[in-house]
Amino acid sequence: MPESIATQVARLQEQMAGAVPAEALRAFAGEQAALAATPVTTAVPAPGAPLPDADLLDGHGEPTSLAAARGGAPAVLVFYRGAWCPYCNLTLRTYEERVRPALDARGVRLIAVSPQRPDGSLTTAETNALTFTVLSDPGNKLAAALGILTEATREAGEAQRALGLDVAAANADGTGAIPMPTTVVLDAEGVVRWLDVHPDYTTRTEPEALVEAVDRHLGGLPG
């Protein structure tokens, strides 16, 4: 049986425990605990509200939009933090292996979005051998529309920079704002039918739950 994302995350954290300075690990653990206690509030109620379209960029910096990426088809939209996030990379690889084939069979697009610069989107796609669409959302317009924006705590931000990571420099708009990891099921008209928000970025929507949500909320699809 394939490993869950949670099992893979636990192994990743064991590896990090031996490679990341203890002070940084404490800062990240404190941030994760605070995020886990964060109530989820979304600006767009689900189901039934259309997700506003937004101007996006592909991995080569070419303009596109959410509507163009969907191409009139239903879609699963995956918000991730950036190419620098190991939890995101782990999740996107798992979705490539275990979600994309199921969605392809159902005529549903899989689209990943982050606020990072286009070169970061390209790195994400190439490093993880992703065959689905990976786009940049400069200024976090889509994440803001859903009310899922957050930012690292001061301690976690300092720990990131000590490790050589500057989130603001990686983001297209030069801010430190990032989305909470979120999956959204959109119908063919771009209406939100289901979403799953994870304030604690070490947890993610499991593949089986995501495919089940597609089948439940986009009934009548082939597959």
Quick check: 18 pLDDT over 90? no
What is the C-alpha separation between 113 and 79, in angstroms, rounded?
5
Which two tokens mark 123?
């790195």
Task: Report the pLDDT value the prediction gives residue 143, as an integer from 0 to 100.
Answer: 94
Q: Locate tokens 């506003």: which residue? A: 52
Question: What ranges do the domains of the chain cover?
Answer: 5-217
Which two tokens mark 18?
């031996």
Name 116's bridge partners: 171
Q: Which residues contact 209 (CB under 8 A, 6 or more apart)?
A: 196
Annotate 31-50 with DSSP letters as a single string. Answer: HHHHHHTPPP--SS-TTTPB
Of 183, 152, 191, the closest CA to residue 40 belongs to 183
Contact 53, 65 (CB under 8 A): yes
Which two tokens mark 124?
């994400």
Residue 89's H or E segment, with its range, is helix 86-98
CB atoms within 10 A of CB 112: 24
**What does the pLDDT average to over 196-204?**
94
SS3 99: coil
Quick check: 223 pLDDT over 50? no
SS3 72: coil
The structure's pTM equals: 0.94
Q: Locate tokens 């964060």: which residue? A: 38
- Where does 5-217 sit in CATH, by number? 3.40.30.10
Q: In what order do the strands lie in the sheet with 109-114?
A: 63-65, 55-57, 133-136, 109-114, 75-79, 182-186, 192-197
Confidence class for position 46, pLDDT limits 50, 70, 90:
low
Residue pLDDT, tens place only, 130-175:
999 999 999 999 999 999 999 999 999 999 999 999 999 999 999 9
